Amino acid sequence: MTLLRGSRVAMCSVMGLFSYGTKTEEQVKTCPIQVVQPEQKSGDILLSRKIHSVLRSTNEWEHSIINHLDRSNLDIRLYQYETCPFCCKVRAFLDYYGFSYEAVEVNPVTRSQIKFSMDYKKVPIMKCGGFNVTESSLIISQLATFLQRKDRTFEEIQQMYPAVESADEKGKKVMTYPSKYFIMLEKITSTEDMARQKEEREWRMWVDDHFIHLISPNVYRTWNEALNTFKWFSLVGDWDRTFPAWERYLAIYMGAAAMYVISKRLKKRHNIDDERQALRDACKEWMEAIGKDRLFMGGDKPNLADLALYGAMTSFYGCEAFEEVKNGPAGEWWERMRKAVKNHEGRKILELRAA
Ligand SMILES: N[C@@H](CCC(=O)N[C@@H](CS)C(=O)NCC(=O)O)C(=O)O
């Protein structure tokens, strides 16, 4: 049923649908907390480490990213699907600036982990400072404003992003946030800065409204690609450790078959003719927008548009379609971004904010 709900990025649903089998108590007990990623260091400075743990009370998995230099005390908890492009966007932002956070994997069938959220049932949802923040771009804008505004608490920043209630075509209540792409700066900036901010907003919207729609038609383009995509999910989701073999194979083959069919529907819905060409064109368009004189759209450093696109791209890193990114015009930019995010190159800004 989750398959047919027609979510914008159905990949997330299907992957998650199978990523929660029946974990027995015994299996869970054999998975103690463990470091799964070597510590990131810069010279002598210990930057971050990632640990996996299992919540004994619910048998659910979460992982914590501990950035030793984060003194913000924001206590961020991100409810997510590991390969959802919207969630990957948020994680790219958090990792670049070096926030500490806990990521909780949501079961898309029961969604039990987000039952605290009555009306909104999508991911990502961020819990922070006693608030539940929905919508990936709103989460990013609020945290980006937090980084800029030492004079404001996270609670005050919340008030800067009012919600507007309306009804969708089926009459269901929906909340929209008209300022979700805006960073609320303290001072009026120069004309050049305003032009840069406008460019950043427009390309963040392009990632959400255009680029992300290209992902499903590409990663499930042929039966073989759909199958390989699910084999990759199995790898990154650690399915061989957490599920019996029969369950894993069922998930891989059924998921691939379902998504192969659904991706054709999505392709039609978004008027995509040739999915590979559309992906190539998008990478070209992005690089043309950056131009020859800039390393990133943000200049010498990534801005929020760079981070959004990079995050969305990491969601299909292990798929054949990713070759178009790696070997195309955006390949070098992508490598620069990977290094910047992995090394938390924006961490000075968070350190200054929390000092
Ligand atoms: N506009 C939202 C879109 C979020 C979204 O569509 N998330 C998908 C996962 S990729 C979802 O949760 N769909 C509902 C479901 O899978 O049940 C955002 O930017 O956060």
Q: Is the CB of 127 under 6 A from ligand 1?
A: no
Give the model's pLDDT for residue 25: 36
Q: Phi/psi of residue 151, each to 5°?
A: -85, 0
Give the model's pLDDT for residue 71: 84
Q: Is the CB of 311 under 6 A from ligand 1?
A: no
Pick from 2, 3, 12 the residue to mutate for probing ligand 1's pocket: most ligand atoms within 8 Å of its CB: 12
Residue partners of 98: CB distance under 8 A and separation at least 6: 47, 48, 67, 69, 70, 344, 346, 347, 350, 351
Q: Are 131 and 74 in contact (CB under 8 A)?
A: no
Active site residue 131: no
Active site residue 88: no
Picking from 143-147, 209-213, 280-284, 342-346, which range would have the lowest pLDDT averaged per residue? Answer: 342-346
Return the ligand 1 atom nearest residue 84 CA. Answer: 10
pTM: 0.87
Give the model's pLDDT for residue 280: 98
Q: Are 286 and 330 in contact (CB under 8 A)?
A: yes
Given 18, 20, 86, 146, which residue is catalytic?
A: 86
68-72, 233-237, 305-309, range with greatest mean pLDDT: 305-309
Higher pLDDT, 33 or 227: 227
Q: Is the CB of 82 under 6 A from ligand 1?
A: no
Q: Is the CB of 204 under 6 A from ligand 1?
A: no
Average pLDDT over residues 190-197: 94
Give the model's pLDDT for residue 247: 81
pLDDT in tens, 54-85: 655 555 667 778 777 788 889 999 999 888 99
Identify the three-state secondary structure at position 40: strand
Given 18, 20, 79, 81, which residue is catalytic?
A: 81
Q: Is the CB of 272 under 6 A from ligand 1?
A: no
Given 18, 20, 79, 87, which residue is catalytic?
A: 87
Active site residue 12: no
Q: Is the CB of 141 under 6 A from ligand 1?
A: no
Pairing mode of beta strands 125-128, 45-55: unpaired
Confidence band for 22, pLDDT divided at 50, 70 and 90: very low
Rounded Cα–Cα distance for residues 219 and 229 (Å): 6
Give the model's pLDDT for residue 21: 37
Return the ligand 1 atom nearest residue 2 CA. Answer: 17
Give the model's pLDDT for residue 213: 97
Give the model's pLDDT for residue 65: 80
Mean pLDDT, the chain, rounded, equals: 85
Active site residue 253: no
Give the model's pLDDT for residue 53: 64
Distance 134 CA to ligand 1 centre (A): 10
Give the model's pLDDT for residue 234: 85
Rg (CA), the chain: 20
Domains of the chain: 3-354 (1.20.1050.10)
Spacing of C-alpha 27 from chain mean position: 28
Residues across the chain: 355
Residue (of 254, 220, 260) closest to 21 by Cα position: 254
Q: Is the CB of 135 under 6 A from ligand 1?
A: yes
Type of residue at 14: V
6 conformational bin, left if phi > 0, alpha if psi -120 to 50, beta if neither: left
Rounded Cα–Cα distance for residues 165 and 163 (Å): 6
